[in-house]
Amino acid sequence: QKEVEQNSGPLSVPEGAIASLNCTYSDRGSQSFFWYRQYSGKSPELIMFIYSNGDKEDGRFTAQLNKASQYVSLLIRDSQPSDSATYLCAVRPAGGFKTIFGAGTRLFVKA
Partner 1 sequence: ETGVTQSPTHLIKTRGQQVTLRCSSQSGHNTVSWYQQALGQGPQFIFQYYREEENGRGNFPPRFSGLQFPNYSSELNVNALELDDSALYLCASSLIQLAGSYEQYFGPGTRLTVT
Residue numbers 26-65 binding partner 1 by CB under 8 A: 31-32, 34, 36, 42-46, 49, 51
Residue numbers 81-100 binding partner 1 by CB under 8 A: 88, 90, 92, 95-100
d(CA 43, CA 38): 6
Q: Shortest gap between Cβ of 84 and partner 1 (angstroms)?
A: 17
Q: Shortest gap between Cβ of 12 and partner 1 (angstroms)?
A: 18
- Residue with Cβ nearer partner 1 (68 or 94): 94
Q: Of 92, 80, 105, 81, whose CA–CA distance to 22 is shortest? A: 105
**Dihedral sign for Cα atoms in the order 21, 18, 76, 54:** negative
Q: Shortest gap between Cβ of 20 and partner 1 (angstroms)?
A: 19
The backbone torsions φ and ψ at residue 99, rounded to the nearest 5 degrees and listed phi first, read: -95, 130
Rg over alpha carbons for the chain, rounded to the nearest Å, is 13
102 binds partner 1 (CB under 8 A): yes
Q: How many CA atoms lie within 13 A of 15 on its CB side?
A: 5
Binding site for partner 1 (CB under 8 A): 4, 31-32, 34, 36, 42-46, 49, 51, 88, 90, 92, 95-104
